[in-house]
Amino acid sequence: MQALKETTVWPSTTTPNHTYLLDGDRLIAYIRLGTTQPKYFASPIRGFSKSRRKFENASLDLFEFDTPVSNIKQVVGSKGDVYTVDLDELTCTCPGYTFRGACKHVKDVEAV
């Protein structure tokens, strides 16, 4: 998982810059400016655009996660893609889970 803090200087002072959590090319959550709790999306968003915006890498240690890091596992799919499985929520970032709400990654990690 990667955290990107937006540093874009907007012409309007009412546009806040947030921190975004990505799993590969999928946007899975954002952290509102001035807070430390991530807001997770029900389904990851593919193709997060960074065009016309500026970002810097942020440390994940600065944020408070409801789910301890030990309950989030990285798994490698059959085609080599890396997915994130949340053992508390029993969710996965793979396309199968996104479309069907179930996948083998959750079952495999849960069985371990």
User: How is residue 72 written in tokens?
Assistant: 């989030």
pLDDT, tens digit, 9 for 90 and up, residues 22-75: 887 788 888 888 888 888 887 788 888 888 889 998 887 766 665 444 577 888
Query: What is the pTM (predicted TM-score) of this model?
Result: 0.55
DSSP SS3 for 90: coil
Residue 5's closest CA among 72, 45, 63? 63
Spatial contact of 74 and 102, defined as CB atoms under 8 Å apart: no
The answer, yes or no, to whether residue 91 has pLDDT greater than 80, is yes
The answer, yes or no, to whether residue 13 has pLDDT greater than 90, is no
Would you say how long the chain is, in residues? 112
Spatial contact of 49 and 73, defined as CB atoms under 8 Å apart: no
Q: Order of strands across the sheet with 82-86?
A: 72-76, 82-86, 91-92
